[in-house]
Amino acid sequence: MKITSVEIYKMDLKLDYVLKISLGSTPSAENILIKINTDEGIVGWGEGSPYSFITGETQSTSIEAAKFLGKLLIGKDPTAIEENLTLIKRYLPTHPSVRSAFDMAMWDILGKESNQPVYKLLGGKNRQLRTDKTMGHENSIEDVQKLAQDYLNDGFNEIKMKTGRPGNTDYLHVKAVRDLVGEDVHVKIDSNQGWDLAESLKNARLMEPLNLMYFEQPMPVWNLDDMVRLREKINIPVCADESVFDEVDAFKICKLGAADYLNIKLGKSGGIHTGLKINAIAEAYGAKCMIGCFNESRLGLTAAAHLVLARPNIVFLDLDAALFLADDPIIGGMEYGEKNKSFITIGEKPGLGVDIKEEFLQKWKSFKIE
């Protein structure tokens, strides 16, 4: 099989809820959609959600990067995933969310060619999954309690709160949520690099009685030494997110003992291929993994869910992005439960099991590399 052309779509999606975090916020989801066409008529879909604060990409740089990678792949066998992704990373070590879109599309093609869902190609087993739901920086205790109540009403039993602000606002908000939800619901925090060691320690001490599930990315990406110190001093497990893009980062973090958990995001790792490697390193170290997301639609989240089904060491799920979108351009793929929105199910269709609604394809600006 050979790749004959690559289509790149400017995948603009409206957001219903703008998540404010320490690094900033994105008013809409400016994603890219990739379609790989082959000489056998099999097509593969992939999505990237460039998140400039973290991955250093914007939608326009991603489109240019995708054109470049498209040219590189014309004539290649899309099922030779290891070889193609090694080539892609050599030519473009940056732009992980674009690389992840290509990764997904190639797994999609391999699955369709073998008539198997992607999780099965990876040795996984289908089951129902459950995600948390995230809440951004809100203004008042009333706001966080109202959101937490909405999340409970929708069936969520894990709430992730964005922290990382100066002062004691975050502590008061997390406490207000804990007071509202009781002890049976998991609460976790994510500071997105917002604090230094002293602030992280101060907040962790305040929040220790609140029985938090874990404390994600307290400090700047590069500050692994202080993450080690923090982890030694507090009784809340530490999770590395922005500090871990690929297997090399994972190895460094595990070797230093800088985190209890590693957050895999396909948009950081460059797709499923490297997500598998991060998880393998975490397992060797005895660490659990979490899977997160940026502003992906159900397409990108479907790829992430296939990886989770294939690797039970990935135990914490934050695959809520599509719940914040006003648009749903996806047919098939992962579905949230009707009554309980925290449940995620994936069907048995070959590949990713995803299609794109024609009205969106017509609407989005596109480019074709052949």
Measured distance CA(319)–CA(232) in Å, rounded: 29
CB of residue 245 to Mg ion, shortest distance in Å = 13
Cα 232 to Cα 164, 193, 246, 256, 309: the distances in Å are 20, 18, 24, 12, 32
Size of residue set near Mg ion by CB under 5 A: 3
Catalytic residue among 35, 120, 162, 268: 162
Break the chain down into helix, strand, coil percent, rounded to 5: 40, 20, 35
When asked if residue 132 is in the footprint of Mg ion (CB under 5 A), the reply is: no
Is residue 242 flagged as an active site residue?
no
CB of residue 267 to Mg ion, shortest distance in Å = 12
Measured distance CA(254)–CA(286) in Å, rounded: 9
Phi-psi region of 211 (alpha: psi -120 to 50; beta: other; left: phi over 0): left
Return the number of the residue (216 or 260) whose C-beta is nearest Mg ion. Answer: 216
Is residue 268 flagged as an active site residue?
no
Token output for 213: 């599930």
Catalytic residue among 7, 158, 170, 190: 190
When asked if residue 190 is in the footprint of Mg ion (CB under 5 A), the reply is: yes
Largest alpha-carbon pair distance within the chain? 60
When asked if residue 318 is in the footprint of Mg ion (CB under 5 A), the reply is: no
Site for Mg ion in 197-216 (CB under 5 A): 216
Q: Could you tell me if 146 and 173 are in contact, meaning their C-beta atoms sit under 8 angstroms apart?
A: no
Catalytic residue among 47, 241, 246, 249: 241
Is residue 162 flagged as an active site residue?
yes
Return the number of the residue (105 or 224) whose C-beta is nearest Mg ion. Answer: 224
Is residue 349 flagged as an active site residue?
no
CB of residue 77 to Mg ion, shortest distance in Å = 36
Site string for Mg ion, 222-261 (x = CB under 5 A): -------------------x--------------------
Secondary element (H or E) of residue 369: strand 366-369
Residue 141: other Cβ atoms inside 10 A:
16
Is residue 216 flagged as an active site residue?
yes
CB of residue 21 to Mg ion, shortest distance in Å = 8
For the annotated catalytic residues, the residue numbers are 162, 190, 216, 241, 265
**Which spans of this chain sit near Mg ion (rule: CB under 5 A)?**
190, 216, 241
